[in-house]
Amino acid sequence: MSILSALYLSRRPATAFVIIGLFWGCFAAYVPVFKDQLGASDALFGTLLLGSATGLVSAMWLAPHADRILGARGMQVGAVFLAIAWLLPGAMTVPVFFAMAMGLVGLASGLLDVVMNARVSELEAKHDRPLMNANHAMFSVAYAVGALIVGAAREVGLPPILVFAGVGVVVLTLTLFIRMDFTVVEAEDGYDGGYPLWPIALCGAIVLVAFMSEATVEAWSALHVERTLGGGAAEGAFGPAMLGITMAIGRFSGQVVAERLREIPVVIGAAFISASGAVIAAFAPTPMVAYLGFGILGLGVSVIGPMGLALVGKLVAPHLRTEAISRTAVIGFSGFFFAPVMMGLISEAFGLRIAFLGVAVLLSVAVPLALAVRRLPRVTTRQGS
């Protein structure tokens, strides 16, 4: 019941998480098609994905200002912008135009992402209970659904632009349910806490580790199954779908765990679990074993990013919460900037198996970062208290 209660309290931002998840799940399962359509090598395709990363990082800096201007309609505007932007990549056959189209996608996705995470953090403060994992779980559910839809669409030969257009129609309907009023919080009288540099830097690094790992598996799992392990189109699409399904399970479980345990032990345990999954995927002899690896990785990594964003919301003053989450997201989403290039270069030089081993090493870095965050003081003043 705690999961259903959390989703009801945060139903409007949860719907925004569904919207983003649907689109990125579709993209992940279409990666082999996009790559063939562009005639790109691993290294070139990874570099082209810098377009979306550049847009995401740019959005993180713009989001606090856009949030203040758009107010209660911030999530609605972001969702419509995203639906329009996703119509472009599938129509591109020239690499540079594909990168530009992905830049627009990244900008739209980033704007919506910051606003919806800020709304969840505000609701956490208002109701004094964790909500972040349940909302991120809805992203994962939608991500898996999107990947499975594309698996079926690829089997019958549907091009990306038709599928993204269909998802866009669904999204435009969902935007009717995501208008959300919020309270502008002013600094408390006499506040002299300064700028929360360390909470943002350390929590941002934790989110960076999580999102780099997620981005790597999202973008390259289908290719690993199809090229390294000889799977077909539907088998390839099931790679990112498995990640989405298990991340949803992990985040729903994380919602329950977060109400009983503190965040730091959960992050440390999750880092070890997800790293073991990356190792299994790297050495998998068959698609079925790779799915097991992706599943274990998804269960573990699922809670690391949401926990990092939730932590920074508890470590800063209420009037700095939206800005702190935005800055933390800048650091975290820069993972989408580094991961495609890193994965493409490693894959080009050593193959996808070694690249997935690199993901395991990356995930282990979350442990010392979490231990450093544990030493930071928490803010006790809560919005709405």
Reported as a single tens digit per residue, the pLDDT across 76-103 is 999 999 999 999 998 898 999 999 999 9
93 burial level (CB within 10 Å; 0-12, 13-18, 19+): exposed
pLDDT of residue 270: 93
Tens digit of pLDDT per residue, the chain (385 long)? 578 888 899 999 999 999 999 999 899 889 889 989 999 887 788 788 888 878 877 877 787 778 778 888 999 999 999 999 999 998 898 999 999 999 999 999 988 988 898 888 888 878 888 888 889 889 888 988 998 899 889 888 899 999 999 999 999 999 999 999 876 666 555 555 567 788 999 999 999 999 888 888 877 888 888 888 988 888 887 888 887 788 888 888 877 877 777 788 989 999 999 999 999 999 999 999 999 999 999 899 988 988 888 888 788 877 777 778 778 877 887 776 677 677 778 888 888 899 899 999 999 999 999 999 988 876 654 444 3
pLDDT of residue 385: 34
pLDDT of residue 383: 41
pLDDT of residue 190: 54
pLDDT of residue 382: 43
CA–centroid distance for 62 within its chain: 18
pLDDT of residue 384: 40
pLDDT of residue 205: 93
Give the separation between CA 162 and CA 106, rounded to whole angstroms: 20
pLDDT of residue 140: 81
pTM: 0.75
Domain positions in the chain are 2-179+198-373
CA–centroid distance for 125 within its chain: 22
pLDDT of residue 272: 94
pLDDT of residue 242: 84
Cα dihedral 256, 259, 261, 267 sign: positive
CATH placement of domain 2-179+198-373? 1.20.1250.20
Give the separation between CA 72 and CA 13, rounded to whole angstroms: 12
